[in-house]
Amino acid sequence: MIIFRGQYRMSYSGFTDFMLRIAGKADEICHPPRLHITFTDAAPPVASIIPFRKSKVGMLSIYFEGGFSGEELQNFIAYCRSDEVSPSGRLSGVYSVEEVLPVEYRKTWPDLEITPGVCLLTLFSRKPGISRETFLDLWHNSHTPLSLKVHPLWHYNRNVVLDSHSESNEHWEGIVEEHFKLRMHLLNPFRFFGNPVIIIPRMVEVYKDTNAFLDYKTIETYLVREVVFRS
């Protein structure tokens, strides 16, 4: 997984075009069996129960048979750091991850067409003072089942960072892409957490659960869309 940050003055439509070009170049250089991108394509709502970041971010997910292909990856990274790319955005992190899909949509739309609904992209690290083993246990065995119970998730892409490559300026331990089939399922609190009778207890339960293993001071959340470039 590779993180890109858009330039401050760039438009959202310009950043969308940038991410599509990046994905096309990754496909050309790396020839992966699978490739998808998530990216901010519009400003988040002014008022939201989720603290969305307003900056532009893109996530490129490249799948390699048997792990990273070193030469192809380095050639792609060199392209991303070239003068051709840098005026539009910058590569800020390269990670080897272990992906798990606790719930998965059934893809019925063609490649290169934007995925229906919206996605919540979250970048995070563990809470200071806990071990990596505790962090992973709480994330996988407490938070994942709770998320599936509480939120109307359509597709849940959970990634444990195994290695942060030397090209990275940012170091994360978890990257999650949570998809919702309808925009309102994420942005309407009474769909995201539940009806008025249960919403407050559920919000408290989710906060206590995440606060047990996440570093809230550094967590980043973004409202993004997805394009499957090669399925």
Check: pTM over 0.85? Answer yes or no: yes
Instruction: Write out residues in the chain with pLDDT < 50, as ranges.
Output: none
What pLDDT shows up at residue 85? 84
Tens digit of each residue's pLDDT (9 = 90 or more) over 192-217: 999 999 999 999 999 999 999 999 99
What pLDDT shows up at residue 67? 54
b/e map of 25-46 (b: 16 or more CB within 10 Å)?
Answer: bbeebbebeebbbbbbbeebee
What pLDDT shows up at residue 106? 96
Q: How many domains does the chain have?
A: 1
Read out DSSP for 146-190? HHHHHS--SEEEEEEEEEE-TT-SS--SEEEEEEESSHHHHH-HH
What pLDDT shows up at residue 72? 86
Tokens 């798990």 correspond to 100
Is residue 182 a contact partner of residue 105, using CB atoms and an 8 Å limit? no
Amino acid letter, 181: K
What pLDDT shows up at residue 69? 61
What pLDDT shows up at residue 224? 98
Tokens of 27: 């496909």
* Nearest-angstrom CA–CA distance, 227 and 222: 16
Provide the CATH number for the domain around residue 35: 3.30.70.100
Whole-angstrom CA distances from 42 to 19, 118, 160, 181 are 13, 11, 27, 18
Is residue 82 a contact partner of residue 201, using CB atoms and an 8 Å limit? no
Tens digit of each residue's pLDDT (9 = 90 or more) over 122-162: 999 999 999 999 999 999 999 999 999 999 999 999 999 99
What pLDDT shows up at residue 7? 87
Query: What is the domain range of residue 215?
Result: 2-230
E strand residue ranges, the chain: 2-6, 34-39, 57-63, 89-103, 118-124, 155-164, 174-180, 220-230
The H-assigned helical ranges of 31-175 are 70-80, 132-138, 144-150
Task: Give the torsion sign (CA, 184, 48, 17, 26).
Answer: negative
What pLDDT shows up at residue 66? 64
What pLDDT shows up at residue 127? 97
Helix/strand/coil for 229 = strand
